[in-house]
Amino acid sequence: MASLVFSSTSASPVALRGRPKLAIGVAQPQSGAGHVSVRGKDRKARPFITRAVAVGKKVSRFDDVAMAPPDPILGVSEAFRACTNELKLNLGVGAYRTEDLQPYVLNVVKKAEKLMLEKGDNKEYLPIEGLAAFNKATAELLLGADNRAIQSQRVATVQGLSGTGSLRLAAAFINRYCPNSKVLISSPTWGNHKNIFNDAGVPWSEYGYYDPKTVGLDFEGMIADIKAAPSGSFILLHGCAHNPTGIDPTPEQWTKIADVLEEKGHTPFFDVAYQGFASGSLDEDAHAVRLFVERGFEVFVAQSYSKNLGLYSERIGAINVVCSSSDVANRVKSQLKRLARPMYSNPPVHGARIVANVVGDPNLFSEWKAEMEEMAGRIKSVRKRLYDNLSQKDKSGKDWSFILKQIGMFSFTGLNTSQSGNMTNKWHVYMTKDGRISLAGLSLAKCEYLADAIIDSYHNVN
């Protein structure tokens, strides 16, 4: 069997046993010769052999690229898929499942898609700002069709690549037009917020939000931190169903938050990923955003239809910027488009058409609201069952009632990293390491098992 022994400036001697043809076959001539021994005979290497051996040793220009850690949320789904235990439960990503733990395509979505197919819509590019009918529908859904800001054309709406893409576009806008401003985000928050602002080059810091002692809102801390931020900061607020805590300010607290933002000249930046999922009502869940708009703030709002219409993989959402005049709104919109064009050119049409059809048709719209109430209702009943199971089974006297007070898709259990690790390693319950569980991925039938896992992890792991 032939062997090649090689040395060059860039690699230590290496032997390729039994594969000389392959190595030489893929070689391309290149400059810089190595020193090669073929079957023990030293001779000056032909240039192409250097490259052959380099390929064999996998020398890459990307050798310094380190392995990225798995995503804290989407990585959980990958680990879940790899698990073969039949008890496994995926409570990681916030994605709605039926009582049989199957993904759910809403009936209104199927109906809208049927209509679209019958109409034979084409696949031409959308304008950079997206589908006009979608942009109109999404702003109206958020603010209410009769909102003065809409009527006076003060809202710049651009269709985005779901909530994430819309946040990212707004972050790029802040970076370009408010380069000295920073964004304040809640502690804790949805894990991707920090990545988004980091990648857009927008400095951020945190404001207090969660109080582990009360498992509730640290309202005083939140207000103090927002007051202490440099005037003119952007304050990222979760419109409803705060992720991961499931704790929202009360309407009175929202008013106080608005007072402080006004006092400090801050700009509210809402992330609305769960409209309709918190209370079951689209209007109720838009309360905070509408309050700030009513009070005359200029407001950023990123919207997502991943959860409330179950359009996760369609990547449909929007960025809305409510401005002080229609003239400003026009200019802001033009710059959002300018930022979008080199990033992704223009957005995909399918999800936008679904939303426009559902929101634009009175029958489909009321059917959607009923389906959303049903989804929100299923999550509430699972929440209640989990609480009942925990309080019945846990004899330690621990108060689990915080689970009932939290709203939306998630429960923030208060389990620490090693306790969350125990949930996965011992019980095959896949969840994020911050102690968040997605109740949207839980069935009534699995509540008892989950309660056992939580009680074991909470009491037996430090």
Q: What is the x/- site pattern for ligand KET, positions 106-145, by CB under 6 A?
A: ----------------------------------------
> Closest Cα to residue 73, out of 306, 282, 286, 249?
306
Sole binder of ligand KET in the list 20, 56, 163, 408 (CB under 6 A): 163
- Please report how close the Cβ of residue 190 comes to ligand KET at its closest, in angstroms: 4
- Please report how close the Cβ of residue 294 comes to ligand KET at its closest, in angstroms: 23
Catalytic residue, from 218, 225, 248, 271: name it: 271
Q: Does 389 bind ligand KET (CB under 6 A)?
A: no
Cα separation, 13 vs 6, in Å, equals 5
- Please report how close the Cβ of residue 120 comes to ligand KET at its closest, in angstroms: 28
* Part of the chain binding ligand KET (CB under 6 A), chosen from 25-33, 54-62, 159-167, 227-235: 159-167
DSSP helix/strand/coil, 45 = coil
CA–CA distances in Å: residue 6 to residues 2, 29, 58: 13, 16, 14
Would you say 56 or 94 has its CB closer to ligand KET? 94
* Part of the chain binding ligand KET (CB under 6 A), chosen from 13-21, 162-170, 288-296, 370-378: 162-170
Would you say 6 or 274 has its CB closer to ligand KET? 274
Q: Which of residues 294-313 bind ligand KET (CB under 6 A)?
A: 304, 306, 312
* Part of the chain binding ligand KET (CB under 6 A), chosen from 161-169, 257-265, 363-371, 452-460: 161-169
Q: How many residues bind ligand KET (CB under 6 A)?
A: 16
* Backbone dihedral angles phi then psi of residue 136, each to the nearest 5 degrees: -65, -50
Cα separation, 148 vs 2, in Å, equals 81
Cα separation, 327 vs 385, in Å, equals 52
Sole binder of ligand KET in the list 143, 235, 247, 273 (CB under 6 A): 273
Active site residue 190: yes
Q: Does 441 bind ligand KET (CB under 6 A)?
A: no
Would you say 303 or 443 has its CB closer to ligand KET? 303
- Please report how close the Cβ of residue 340 comes to ligand KET at its closest, in angstroms: 15
Q: Provide the CB-side half-sphere exposure for 209 (13 A, CA).
A: 22
Judge contact between 430 and 88, C-beta under 8 A.
yes
Catalytic residue, from 307, 333, 433, 446: name it: 307
Give burial (CB, 10 Å; 0-12/13-18/19+) of 151: exposed
CA–CA distances in Å: residue 91 to residues 37, 271, 315, 373, 452: 58, 22, 21, 21, 15
Would you say 149 or 161 has its CB closer to ligand KET? 161
Q: Does 94 bind ligand KET (CB under 6 A)?
A: yes
Which residues have C-beta within 8 Å of that of residue 356, sequence separation ≥ 6? 131, 133, 134, 136, 137
Active site residue 307: yes
Sole binder of ligand KET in the list 8, 135, 157, 164 (CB under 6 A): 164
Structure tokens at 21: 């043809």
Would you say 56 or 92 has its CB closer to ligand KET? 92
- Please report how close the Cβ of residue 144 comes to ligand KET at its closest, in angstroms: 22
- Please report how close the Cβ of residue 313 comes to ligand KET at its closest, in angstroms: 9
Judge contact between 234 and 184, C-beta under 8 A.
yes
Would you say 50 or 90 has its CB closer to ligand KET? 90
Residue with tokens 């064999």: 56
Which stretches of 189-243 are DSSP H helices? 192-200, 219-228
Q: Does 411 bind ligand KET (CB under 6 A)?
A: no
Q: Does 243 bind ligand KET (CB under 6 A)?
A: yes
> Closest Cα to residue 216, out of 428, 406, 35, 39?
406
Pairing of strands 210-211, 216-217: antiparallel
* Part of the chain binding ligand KET (CB under 6 A), chosen from 33-41, 160-168, 221-229, 331-339: 160-168
Q: Does 317 bind ligand KET (CB under 6 A)?
A: yes
> Closest Cα to residue 53, out of 64, 37, 39, 66?
37
CA–CA distances in Å: residue 232 to residues 175, 179, 183, 200, 264: 14, 11, 10, 19, 7
Q: Which of residues 175-204 bind ligand KET (CB under 6 A)?
A: 190, 192
Indicate which residues carry an active-site annotation: 190, 271, 307
Residues that bind ligand KET (CB under 6 A): 73, 93-94, 162-164, 190, 192, 238, 243, 271, 273, 304, 306, 312, 317
